[in-house]
Chain A
Amino acid sequence: MTPLHIVSNRALDVVPATMLRAPTTVVAASLHDVTRALTAQAARPPSSPIAIDLVGHSTSAHQLLRLGSTVIDALDLAVFRFFEAIGRSGILRDINAVCLRLLGCETATSACGVRTMRLLSSVLAIPVYGSRKRLSRTHHTAQGFNPIFRHVLVDATGDVPPAELT
Chain B
Amino acid sequence: MHGMRWVFRATGGFVGRIESATRIAFWPDEPADHGFDPSLLIMTDLSRTPAAAALGEISFDAVEIDDCYCGPTGDLRGTTLGPRWPEIQVAGAVYLEQRFRDRLPDAIRPALPPKFMSGRAHEYTTVVYWPNADDPRAGRRYAGHHAELLEERGTLARVVVFSPGTSNSPGAQPRTLWVDLGSPDDTDAGPHSMTEIGLGRGRRSGALYLISTGIPATVLESQNAAAR
Contacts and interface: CB of A to CB of B under 8 A. Distances in A.
Interface of A: 31, 61-62, 64, 70-71, 73, 75-81, 110-112, 115, 118-119, 122
Residue picked from A61, A77, A110, most chain B C-beta under 10 Å: A77
B87 A115 contact: yes
Given A77-B55, A122-B86, A61 B49 contact: no
B83 A80 contact: yes
B70 A73 contact: yes
A31 B74 CA distance: 22
Residue picked from B68, B74, B75, B222, most chain A C-beta under 10 Å: B74
8 contacts: A75-B70, A76-B69, A77-B216, A79-B216, A115-B87, A118-B86, A118-B87, A119-B83
Contact of B218 (A31, A110, A118): A31
B219 interface: yes
B29 interface: no
Contacts of A112: 70, 74
Contact of A62 (B68, B70, B216, B222): B70
A78 B70 contact: no
A110 B74 contact: yes
B219 A77 contact: yes
A111 B218 contact: no
Interface residues of B, number: 21
Contacts of B39: none
Q: Which 3 A-B pairs have the closest CB atoms?
A: A78-B218, A77-B51, A76-B216
A119 B51 CA distance: 17
B97 interface: no
A118 B83 CA distance: 12
Contacts of A119: 83, 87
Contacts of A70: 218
A79 B70 contact: no
Contacts of B75: 111
A77 B70 contact: no
Nearest to B220: A78
Interface in B76-102: 76, 83, 86-87
Residue picked from B55, B67, B87, most chain A C-beta under 10 Å: B87
Residue picked from A71, A115, A118, most chain B C-beta under 10 Å: A115
B49 A62 contact: no
A118 B69 CA distance: 15
Given A61-B74, A62-B74, A78 B216 contact: yes
A77 B67 contact: yes
Contact of B222 (A61, A64, A78): A78
Contacts of A80: 83
A76 B217 CA distance: 9
Contacts of A115: 87
A73 B51 CA distance: 14
